[in-house]
Amino acid sequence: MKCIWCKQSLTKNLTFMEILNPFFVQEHRLCAKCQQKFEPLIGGCQLCGKPTVQPICSDCQYWQRKYPTYAFKHTALYHYNEGFHEWMEQYKYLGDYQLRYTFSYELKRYFKDKKDCWIVPIPLSKEKREKRGFNQVEGFLEAIGIKYQPILSKKNDTLPQAKKGRYERLKMKQPFSLNIDGGLIANQDIILVDDVYTTGRTLFYAAECLLPYHPKKIMTFSLAR
């Protein structure tokens, strides 16, 4: 068995359960060195997890003013640190598609009690998808067998968020549109899923497409914040 990221050989002492049933053996794993590159997101802002001394960070205070009737709540697994940035480069931009399995255990744990929710990945433009060959969010959802609803479309190609400054991110134009009858999402619990939450602009624009049709609840999730 090899580390899914650095490809170094792994040694692992099997648990009693894994010996009795190989189904429980994690096929795609990180070595200890690679695992240490990720910093779990613990505490922080009550609404998005961003490290802050205030109960609610300045970003979320901004969104509360802009969307006063939207009771948003975001969940992320890790800080967007240097290690996560390296992982994103290899998965998203260099196309190491095996890395979609990296956080399978954590994702299964998050989604296990959300089977009645509509899981909605943030879409790519047609041009970006053709160039990259895959949608990185759909990739890690498919890795754990999550059924998702591709109900959003991206209108056109835009500069990657990582290449924009904070002001540019907040001022970008609405890039998404709803591609189904809006009445179908009324009273549904919906989870919008992205890879990284930076300012929140992308996820709030996605939510903006859904809010007029009165879903029961909109939650948001990302791998990193």
What is the chain's length?
A: 225
Q: Are residues 8 and 100 in the same domain?
A: no
pLDDT of residue 172: 81
What is the phi/psi pair of residue 51, to 5°? -55, 125
Answer with the residue of higher pLDDT: 144 or 167: 144
Q: Are residues 174 and 80 in the same domain?
A: yes
Q: Are residues 9 and 112 in the same domain?
A: no
Please determine, for residue 176, whether its predicted confidence score (pLDDT) is greater than 50.
yes
Tokens 């989604």 belong to residue? 111
For 134-160, what is the mean pLDDT? 91
- How many Å separate Cα 101 from the centre of its chain? 13
Q: Are residues 6 and 47 in the same domain?
A: no
pTM attached to this predicted model: 0.89
At residue 24 the predicted structure's pLDDT band, cuts being 50, 70 and 90, is very low
Q: Are residues 47 and 29 in the same domain?
A: no
Question: CB neighbours (10 Å) of residue 184?
Answer: 12
Could you read off the pLDDT of 90-127 as tens digits, one per residue?
A: 999 999 999 999 999 999 999 999 999 999 999 999 99
Q: Give CA–CA dist 143/159, Å, rounded.
A: 27
Could you read off the pLDDT of 65-77 as tens digits, one per residue?
A: 999 999 999 999 9
Nearest to 123 by CA among 153, 156, 88, 162: 153
Q: Are residues 196 and 88 in the same domain?
A: yes
pLDDT of residue 145: 96
Q: Are the C-beta atoms of 201 and 160 separated by less than 8 Å? A: no
Write out the DSSP string of 99-149: GGGTTHHHHHHHHTT-TTSEEEEPPPPHHHHHHHSS-HHHHHHHHTT----
Q: Kind and range of the H or E element at 166?
A: helix 166-171
Q: Are residues 72 and 163 in the same domain?
A: yes
Q: Are the C-beta atoms of 106 and 78 separated by less than 8 Å? A: no
Could you read off the pLDDT of 44-70 as tens digits, one per residue?
A: 999 999 999 999 999 999 999 999 999
At residue 161 the predicted structure's pLDDT band, cuts being 50, 70 and 90, is low
Q: Are residues 209 and 168 in the same domain?
A: yes
CATH number, domain with residue 154: 3.40.50
At residue 149 the predicted structure's pLDDT band, cuts being 50, 70 and 90, is very high
Q: Give CA–CA dist 185/148, Å, rounded.
A: 14
Tokens of 121: 């990945």
Residue ranges making up the domain that contains 188? 37-224
Q: Are residues 11 and 56 in the same domain?
A: no
Q: Are residues 48 and 118 in the same domain?
A: yes
Q: Are residues 47 and 157 in the same domain?
A: yes
Q: Are the C-beta atoms of 178 and 152 separated by less than 8 Å? A: yes
Q: Are residues 24 and 83 in the same domain?
A: no
Number of domains in the chain: 2
